[in-house]
A and B are shown apart, each in its own frame.
Chain A
Amino acid sequence: MVRKVITVSGCGIPLIGNDIDTDRIIPARFLCCVTFDGLEKHTFADDRESLKGQHPFDLPQYKDARILIVNCNFGCGSSREHAPQALKKWGIQALIGESFAEIFFGNCVAIGIPCVNAESNIIKKLQEIIIANPQVVMKVNLETMEVTCGEFVTQISMGEEAKKMIISGAWDTCSQLLSQRKQIQATAANLPYLGWN
């Protein structure tokens, strides 16, 4: 089954801060599980606790948001896929940010969530528009590489290869990789170390 992701529409949710790591997105104590079920409840658990209801993920105006607007180096730290899984289960279908940590970005792509980049002043502007009017409808278009946020329209960017995977539905890599069985065996046969004793 190919699940292409070309556009994502919905309300936005701003999350201001640089270097927000995956320990903050989903603290380690919630990784004691053998499935990803129910993770959404614990998204940003500690940050939310310390902000006592004022964290964006607790504010009623954002509860149906689909697009998360973040700043710099979002998702750094631990490789836990629990982080994008928790965001996805919470309802997030796309992220717009100044920059993303590499493993987090790859994990998002692997579950069909595009992370697109925009300049810091654009991010700030998007966050401001949403804070002023949480109901404003946003649309991320990966074909035209544009974001609309009410009246405001801006260009976004994303690595070509990851973008192609998302748009074509090839983000679900497993079957694609397995279709190269012969070539996998041939590559293995060429590696000297597989045969050493």
Chain B
Amino acid sequence: MSKGTLFDKVWDLHTVARLPSGQTQLFIGLHLIHEVTSPQAFVMLREKGLKVLFPERTIATVDHIVPTTNQVRPFEDVLAEEMMQALEQNCQENGITFHNIGSGNQGIVHIIAPEQGLTQPGMSIACGDSHTSTHGAFGAIAFGIGTSQVRDVLASQTIALSKLKVRKIEVNGTLQPGVYAKDVALHIIHTLGVKGGVGYVYEYTGTTFNKMSMEERMTVCNMAIEGGARCGYVNPDHITYEYLKNRDFAPTATDWDKAVAWWESIRSNTDAEYDDDVKFNAADIPPTVTWGITPGQGIGIDQLIPMSAELHEEDRLIAEEAYDYMDLTVGKPIQGTKIDVCFIGSCTNGRISDLREAARVAKNQHVAKDVKAFVVPGSERVKKQAEAEGLDQIFIDAGFEWREPGCSMCLAMNPDKLQGRQISASSSNRNFKGRQGSSSGRTLLMSPAMVAAAAIKGEVFDVRKLLS
């Protein structure tokens, strides 16, 4: 049993009761909702004749279904329009703040809450979305939940949960140039496996994380769930506080000093006890690309697509499925794999620093013939900032399309979809079968800079060669 970690402290502080089952009833400090997983929860609430208990602790946005080209209402897709109206109505009826398209604050839920300063250290956060783990970058404990639990949070501001174990993941040293937070995330998942984190919270620590910006930390925490861990977090520090200071919902005046003192107090103790402990060297992490149908099927850019015999026995069944589906040549380098579509965006890599890195690669270059490449900022604020810096023009000049914010082709619930067996280089987080909108479409996950490199070369390419 862990002791004295940030997770233990935040868990204890938010514990309302011990339920007869032995589960904990946990208070949720911040509840985020979007159009896909909330409408049924509001219906359940109405059926039970219940009201939202703490409407001011729930914040809504719309991200999954929004078109990234024509956003005129009503949406062309009638089902999307219906979902949009349901959210608007549910928010209005229940007094919930809704960051709608055009408000200047809309965007992917895991991007807008941090950028507005809603996400803060020491909070418990829930959202009907698995990538809620992102918010752990601030030293919050943040759970992805299902719709029945969304109902529970709306009704009671609490959920029933079993306590998790804590694994300390220590990464030390300096990342090589051209190696990004995304590569760290993919490398960890590859090493520990896609179910390695089941039952655990990941505490990311070590000198590599100490030096990372908040946006980089968010990228790694975002993908904790891809390694099976429900939450991932980084202890708050001066980088966290500098990021938060003066954001819309950050504490102000004397509350700020109180907040910093409290945030410092909830950091894991130096003598904290963990259930498990794993160490990595930053220098060992290469630019990483996936070749299969799970985020754990990743390899270094210089490596060969592994043969079944080289894999652990338990990884072979899914590898065989991946060989069939991906139709890449086993035993051959991943580098040089031809690409049809390049997607830069998502809650993993749709932030301003991601766009800056991709633009650095794209500058004065041009997207390869026959490649469709597009950039989808993670939020309206990210878009505005990028345009102020001229990043949009760099992308457009290089032959990328510059779109409106949303989840887009990360899961393709809007018109942005792969066609047939197209293969994409994607800065998103999931390469599952059919994930990007075509039941036979294929996805290679990589960092945004690597996606930009793939767009320019028309094939999987080592971004380090373009940067040097």
Contact mask for chain B residues 296-339; partner A; CB cutoff 8 A; 1 contact, 0 none: 00000000000000000010011001000000000000000000
Bound CA–CA A21/B130 (angstroms): 12
Give how many A residues have a beta carbon under 8 Å from the other chain's beta carbons.
Answer: 67
Given contacts A176-B19, A183-B16, contact A19 B318 (CB under 8 A): yes
Q: Are B262 and A80 in touch, CB under 8 angstroms?
A: no
Q: Is A174's CB under 8 angstroms from B27's CB?
A: no
B128 interface neighbour in A79, A99, A180, Cβ under 8 Å: A79
Chain A, Cβ-Cβ closest to B259: A196
A121 to B251 Cα, complex, angstroms: 55
Q: Does A177 contact B (CB under 8 A)?
A: yes
Contact (Cβ within 8 A) B14 A23: no
Nearest CB on B from A58, distance (A):
15
Judge whether B448 is part of the interface by a CB distance below 8 angstroms.
no
> Given that A110-B148, A161-B162 are contacting pairs, would A27 and B434 also be in contact in the complex, using a CB cutoff of 8 Å?
yes
Chain A residues within an 8 Å CB radius of B161: 106
Residues of B within 8 A of A181 (CB): 156
Task: For chain A, residues 13 to 29, give those with C-beta under 8 angstroms from any C-beta of chain B.
Answer: 17-19, 21, 23-24, 27-29
B residues less than 8 Å from A21 (CB atoms): 294, 430, 432
Known: A50-B440, A170-B19, A174-B156. A184 touches B198 (CB 8 A): no
With contact pairs A24-B434, A106-B149 given, residues A178 and B155 touching in the complex (Cβ less than 8 Å): yes
Contact across chains for B36 and A177 when beta carbons are under 8 A apart: no
Contacts of A184 in B (CB 8 A): 16, 27, 53, 156-158
Q: What string of 1s and 0s marks CB contacts (under 8 Å) between B431-447 and chain A?
A: 01111010110000000
Whether B43 is near chain A, meaning CB under 8 Å from some CB there, is: yes
Chain A residues in 8 Å Cβ range of B162: 159, 161-162
CB of B13 within 8 A of CB of A190, answer yes
Set B22, B123, B148, B195: member contacting A99, Cβ < 8 A: B195
B148 lies within 8 A of A17 (CB):
no
**Residue among B22, B145, B199 making CB contact with A103, cutoff 8 Å:** B145
Cβ proximity bits A116-136 to B, threshold 8 Å, 1 near / 0 not = 000000000000000000000
How near does chain A come to B230, taking the closest CB pair, in angstroms? 5
Minimal Cβ-Cβ distance residue in B for A186: B16
Tell me if A174 and B152 are in contact (CB < 8 A): yes
CB B225 to nearest CB in A, in angstroms, measures: 8
The segment from A3-11, A69-77, A138-146, A148-156 that touches chain B is A69-77
Set of chain A residues within 8 Å of B21, measured between Cβ atoms: 161-162, 164-165, 168, 170
Contacts known (A174-B151, A191-B13); A106 close to B19, Cβ less than 8 A = no
Q: How far is the CA of A47 from the CA of B293 in the complex (A)?
A: 13
CA distance A174 to B151 in the complex (A): 8
The yes or no answer to B159 lying at the interface (CB within 8 A) is yes
Known: A49-B439, A177-B160. A79 touches B130 (CB 8 A): yes
Answer whether A165 and B439 are a contact pair too, CB < 8 Å, given A23-B433, A106-B145, A180-B17.
no
Flag the segment in B74-82, B282-290, B354-362, B392-400 that touches A. Answer: B74-82
Indicate if the CB atoms of A191 and B27 lie closer than 8 Å: yes
Within 8 A of A (CB), among B117-135: 120, 122-123, 128-130, 132
15 inter-chain pairs at a CB distance below 8 angstroms, sorted by A residue, are A19-B195, A24-B433, A32-B79, A33-B83, A76-B294, A77-B130, A77-B430, A84-B146, A102-B198, A160-B22, A161-B23, A165-B21, A183-B25, A184-B53, A191-B14
Having A78-B129, A188-B54, one finds 19 other A-B pairs with CB under 8 Å, namely A46-B434, A72-B314, A73-B194, A79-B146, A99-B195, A103-B130, A103-B144, A106-B149, A107-B146, A165-B23, A174-B50, A174-B148, A174-B151, A177-B155, A180-B17, A181-B156, A183-B16, A192-B259, A193-B259
